[in-house]
Amino acid sequence: MSSGERLRRELYTLRFILGKEMKLWKRYPSRILFIIIMPFLSILTLYFQGMGLVGSTVSSEFESFAGTQDYLMFIIVGSVVFIFVSTAIWGVGNSIRREQMMGTLESIWVTPTSKLTIFVGVALFDGLFSSYVAFMQLLISSVILPVNMLDLKMFVVIGIAFLLIFSLYGLGFFFTGFVLIYKELEDFTNMITSAIKMISPVSYPLSVLPTPIAFLAMFIPLTYALQAIREYLGLGEYGPFYQYMGLLLLFDLLFIIGGSLFFRYAEKKAKRSGIIATH
């Protein structure tokens, strides 16, 4: 088969995967509402905490850590970008488990389609869906909270977050492999998502963290995406923008390769030990 024909077939398959994902969301419409509301609830929680501790949305102490007094804008940007992380981990990372729970894993596994195409389809859908949810967060925040996040610059922010996606999908492949071997991973996924949120500068600057934890944050691509975005928006003083972008692309490459290799290993192991379809 020529490479052109192959590409045409893969794109054809991709179209159906996108359709399948869309059908799933339509089947459970309240879940869409839930996905839109949940990130905003976490922004509100920190907003109320800030109000309870300092009585306003600015803090001079926060400036000494982050280079900006506006902690509310800081956490909204962090939460919006974090949506891409959690969607990638829950979407791609748990796609195998989801199919298993729905009883459709075997049907998908035996189709003459590359597994990579299946994951790229899920990833693409998640990326587009995350962008929509991110936009909704900016909109809701601007309407309800004392802040204006509706700026053309936000398109660049979502663009940078999209760059982050590739490394997240590498992480997603890693999770998928883990699910194949260890099965019930909902609690574990929750834990990893919370841990990533805790050690990266989503809601507070890195300088607040103890040194060993801040060191760990250096190995999470989300850190570089957030530094680049906040540098671009002028929310604090960080290093050169292009340096962060370069590091982000490097992590994209490393995570995609590492994640894919681990997934192949896990798939082989699960097939050999006969646990691929067990719960």
Partner 1 sequence: MQPIRDLTIKDRLWPILQVAKYELIVSNLRYPLRILTRFIGPILWIVPFLFFGKAVLGGTDSTTLYELTGISHMPTFILVGTIITSISFNMLWLMSFAIRLESYRGTFESIYSCPINKFTFFLGKLVASVVWSSMYIIGLLLLGVLYLDVQFVWSSLPEMLLAIAFLFLSMYGFGLTVSGFLLVYKESHTIIHFLDGLFSLIVPMAYPLAVLPSALQKVSLSLPMTRAVIASRNIIILGEPFIEQWQHISVLCIYIFIVIPIGYKFYQRMEKRAKMMGVLHKY
Least distance from partner 1 to the Cβ atom of residue 18, Å: 22
Bridge partner list, 58: 70
The length of the chain in residues reads 279
Binds partner 1 by CB under 8 A, chosen from 53, 110, 143, 152: 53
Q: From CA 279, how far away is CA 276, in angstroms rounded?
A: 9
Question: Considering only residues 198-237, where is the footprint of partner 1 by CB under 8 A?
Answer: 198, 203-205, 208-209
List the one residue out of 277, 261, 276 whose CA is nearest residue 116: 261
Binds partner 1 by CB under 8 A, chosen from 7, 22, 38, 116: 38
List the one residue out of 175, 167, 166, 168 whose CA is nearest residue 93: 175
When asked if residue 243 is in the footprint of partner 1 (CB under 8 A), the reply is no
- Residue 48 or 215 having the CB closest to partner 1: 48
Q: From CA 200, how far away is CA 197, in angstroms rounded?
A: 6
Q: Which stretch binds partner 1 (CB under 8 A): 6-14, 48-56, 127-135, 222-230?
A: 48-56
Question: Considering only residues 137-196, where is the footprint of partner 1 by CB under 8 A?
Answer: 182-185, 187-188, 190-191, 194-195
Least distance from partner 1 to the Cβ atom of residue 54, Å: 5
Q: From CA 28, how far away is CA 269, in angstroms rounded?
A: 34
Q: From CA 101, how far away is CA 177, in angstroms rounded?
A: 16
**Contact between residue 31 and residue 134 where contact means Cβ atoms under 8 Å apart:** no
Task: Give the interface with partner 1 as residue ranges (CB under 8 A).
Answer: 28, 30-31, 34, 37-38, 41-42, 44-46, 48-55, 59, 61-62, 64-66, 71, 75, 101-102, 182-185, 187-188, 190-191, 194-195, 197-198, 203-205, 208-209, 279
